[in-house]
């Protein structure tokens, strides 16, 4: 068996056996949910219900109920869309990119991060759907034979690229996640005693046996899916950025957008993973598996991607001046000093300045501070999209058309609603699904488990 | 003599490999191994060949690329070329840069789903299938070797059990079949 260097910090604390891991993860599913779960669930589902009401109102009345006007004809809808897609990116990064780099610390967090991805992408996909105005025509985005003559979708359009990118991303993430879940559902199936649960998890586990050939195939599928999900995740946010970059609106027409959007996405996604996991590890007593080291690793990703985002902001600013294009320069001067200066500087503070505090080891290993920062980063990333979208539009070429954007209660309600639906789905996941990849965590137990590492070190000295 | 199935239960994947090696070097054919997670290095011992799912994925992917190219060519070049700001649109090669994103996404879509569906069918893991692992503990913390006397006419059940006892086995269970 391969051994791990003693200086690497253990990824599973204390002494655990394979059986303990099963117990720790399956117990919360078998037992009654703690009171905290019911409280959170009530809050989340009330917000979700309100948001669903707002969405239904929007669909029945039309998008005139949003605060959009002739000049700012794209605002919170697309801001929220990009924000949610971005959040989704961390899950794929953890489960696919870190798998290719053989980072073992991914194993404790990939399951829940990927669940987050799936729910976030569902929330993201809601926005283009309801934004169409006539959602029952949504199937028009597909190249279907139709009765309108030779009327096909336009494959030159970045909005159509988005349709393909988001639907591929969602379905591939879902499959990747589910294939990993099958063996763990089988563990639950074989463990629980209540007949109803046994039946449900039996169906979910697809009759998994865990024989040698099945595991060989499992590992091959995981590797290949990780290999194709990696370029996929980079392509998705690049395509999202093309929605802006391929236009000729000053402030949008920049070639730096794809890498800048991708790193911003990973940045906000990791922040959301921190928000969710810091609560979950506490409530579900997962401190032995999601250790401080895991939190620190994620904070390091946050510093790196936050710094890339910072460099991108400054490059963008520099190029707007260096290009010599007056309209470009104005778009950026207006962002920083115009009527939306507060949005620009909130973005700069939250995304560029505050994550730099993680250079201090004390701060990046502090759980409370990490939780606070994870919220700050997501506020900052929402403002980033708002700044890019609204400040570039609100002062166009004709000063007589200049205006501001004022969200209506429907704008706010729909956005809050998606947050509510997201947390409702996540809470259901945390209650009924194995929140750790049991089979993966067990596979590193004897290499990276604390007690086993100590045992190995003792043998080494003798 | 009735045929028997022997299940040797281990607590650790390394111990299981030890047992499997002992059996194989004595000429006993191991039917299968059941474990809660992949036991690395067991495949060559019990003679499991490498899966070809990677090739399957490639074939599905390349099919996706071909379909995307053909479809986009038909929709936007052959059937109805669209005039977008006067940019050339009457030949595929003139318009191809704008077609790359969708071609890529469709390739990934077909490669991923084609492989995933093949994987589920080959593993016989589909919704509603019954559990077929011999012991419910094999998805928790036990590692199990399955040997069938029908595959090993040269060895009696007792001789196989004797071989297994030379490795750190925790239980040996026999079943008629």
pLDDT tens for A244-271 read 999 889 989 989 999 999 999 999 999 9
User: Which residue of B lies nearest to A213 if distances are taken between CA atoms?
Assistant: B48
Chain A residue with minimum CA distance to B57: A224
Between B36, B99, B108, which is nearest A439 by CB? Answer: B36
CATH number for the domain spanning B14: value is 3.30.70
CB pairs below 8 Å between A and B: how many? 206
Residues B68 and B104 in one domain: yes
Q: Is residue B127 part of a domain?
A: no
| Residue ranges of domains in chain A | 18-141+153-454
Looking at residue B1, what is its pLDDT? 55
pLDDT above 70 covers a percentage of chain A that reads: 99
Domains of chain B: total = 2
Using a CB-CB distance cutoff of 8 angstroms, which residues of chain A are in contact with residue B129?
A: 206-207
Confirm or reject contact between A211 and chain B (CB < 8 A): yes
Looking at residues A122-148, what average pLDDT do you find? Answer: 87
Q: Is residue B169 part of a domain?
A: yes
Interface of A with B in 312-371 (CB under 8 A): none
Interval A4-26: pLDDT, tens: 787 888 888 888 889 888 988 88
**B106 and A224 in contact by Cβ < 8 A?**
no
Q: What is the largest CA-CA distance in chain B?
A: 84
Summarised one tens digit per residue, pLDDT across range A64-101 is 999 999 999 999 999 999 999 999 988 888 888 888 88
User: For position A462, what pLDDT does the model report?
Assistant: 57
Q: Does A95 touch chain B (CB under 8 A)?
A: no
Confirm whether pTM is higher than 0.90.
Answer: yes
Res B117: pLDDT:
95
Would you state the CATH architecture of domain A18-141+153-454? Answer: Up-down Bundle (1.20)
Mean pLDDT of A330-349: 93
Domain span at residue B148 reads 4-49+132-176
Q: Does residue B102 sit in the same domain as residue B156?
A: no
Contacts with B, A 123-142, CB within 8 Å: none
Query: Does A190 reach chain B within 8 Å, measured CB to CB?
Result: yes
Write out chain B's pLDDT in tens, 177 residues.
578 888 989 988 988 988 888 888 888 888 889 999 999 888 888 888 889 999 999 999 999 999 999 999 999 889 888 888 888 888 889 889 999 999 999 999 999 999 999 999 998 889 888 888 888 888 888 999 998 888 888 888 888 888 888 888 888 888 887
Q: What is the complex's ipTM, to 2 decimals?
A: 0.92
**Alpha-carbon distance B29 to nearest alpha carbon in chain A (angstroms):** 14
One domain for residues B62 and B110: yes
Does residue B32 share a domain with residue B65? no
Best of A107, A160, A199, A212 to substitute, by most chain B Cβ atoms within 10 angstroms, is A212
């Amino acid at each position: 068996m391969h051994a791990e260097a003693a200086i690497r910090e253990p990824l599973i604390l204390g002494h655990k056996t394979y059986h303990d891991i099963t117990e720790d993860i399956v117990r919360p599913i078998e037992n009654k949910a703690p009171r905290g779960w019911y409280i959170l669930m009530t809050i989340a589902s009330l917000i979700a219900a309100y948001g669903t009401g707002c969405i239904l109102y929007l669909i029945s009345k039309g998008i005139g109920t949003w605060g959009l006007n002739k000049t700012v004809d794209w605002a919170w809808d697309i801001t929220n869309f990009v924000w949610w897609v971005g959040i989704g990116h961390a899950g794929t990064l953890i489960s696919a990119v870190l798998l290719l780099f053989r980072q073992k610390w991914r194993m404790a967090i990939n399951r829940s991060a990927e669940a987050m991805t799936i729910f976030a992408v569902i929330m993201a996909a809601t926005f283009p759907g309801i934004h169409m105005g006539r959602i029952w025509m949504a199937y028009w985005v597909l190249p279907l034979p139709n009765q309108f003559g030779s009327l096909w979708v336009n494959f030159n359009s970045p909005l159509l690229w988005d349709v393909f990118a988001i639907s591929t991303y969602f379905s591939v993430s879902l499959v990747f996640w589910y294939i990993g879940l099958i063996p763990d559902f089988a563990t639950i199936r074989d463990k629980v005693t209540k007949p109803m649960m046994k039946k449900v998890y039996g169906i979910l586990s697809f009759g998994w046996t865990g024989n040698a050939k099945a595991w060989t195939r499992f590992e091959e599928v995981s590797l290949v899916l990780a290999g194709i999900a990696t370029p996929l995740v980079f392509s998705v946010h690049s395509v999202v950025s093309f929605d802006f970059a391929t236009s000729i609106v000053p402030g949008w027409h920049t070639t730096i957008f794809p890498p800048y959007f991708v790193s911003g996405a990973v940045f906000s996604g990791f922040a959301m993973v921190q928000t969710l996991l810091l609560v979950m590890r506490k409530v579900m007593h997962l401190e032995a598996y999601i250790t401080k080291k895991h939190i620190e690793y994620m904070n390091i990703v946050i510093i790196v991607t936050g710094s890339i985002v910072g460099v991108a902001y400054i490059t963008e600013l520099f190029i707007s001046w260096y290009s010599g294009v007056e309209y470009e320069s104005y778009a950026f001067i207006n962002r920083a000093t115009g009527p939306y200066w507060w949005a620009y500087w909130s973005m700069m503070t939250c995304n560029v300045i505050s994550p730099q505090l993680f250079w201090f080891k004390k701060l990046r290993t502090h759980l409370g501070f990490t939780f606070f920062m994870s919220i700050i980063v997501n506020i900052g990333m929402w403002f980033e999209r708002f700044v890019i979208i609204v400040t570039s539009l609100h002062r166009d070429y004709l000063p007589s058309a200049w205006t501001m954007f004022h969200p209506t209660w429907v704008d706010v309600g729909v956005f809050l609603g998606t947050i509510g639906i997201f947390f409702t789905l996540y809470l259901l996941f945390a209650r009924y699904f194995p929140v750790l990849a049991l089979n993966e965590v067990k596979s590193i137990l004897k290499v990276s488990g604390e007690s086993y590492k100590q045992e190995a070190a003792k043998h080494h000295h003798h | 003599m009735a045929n028997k199935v022997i299940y040797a239960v281990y607590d650790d994947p390394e111990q299981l490999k030890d047992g499997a090696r002992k059996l194989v070097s004595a000429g006993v054919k191991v039917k299968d191994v059941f474990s809660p997670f992949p036991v690395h290095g067991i495949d060559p011992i019990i003679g499991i060949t490498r899966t070809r799912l990677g090739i399957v994925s490639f074939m599905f992917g390349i099919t996706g690329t071909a379909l995307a190219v053909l479809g986009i060519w038909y929709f936007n070049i052959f059937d109805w070329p669209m005039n977008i700001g006067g940019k050339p649109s009457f030949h595929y090669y003139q318009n191809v840069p704008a077609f790359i994103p969708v071609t890529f996404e469709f390739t990934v879509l077909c490669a991923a789903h084609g492989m995933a569906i093949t994987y589920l069918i080959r593993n016989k893991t589909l919704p509603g299938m019954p559990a077929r692992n011999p012991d419910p503990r094999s998805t928790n913390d036990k590692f199990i070797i399955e040997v069938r006397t029908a595959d090993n006419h040269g060895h009696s059940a007792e001789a196989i059990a004797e071989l297994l006892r030379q490795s750190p086995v925790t239980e040996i269970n026999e079943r008629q079949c």
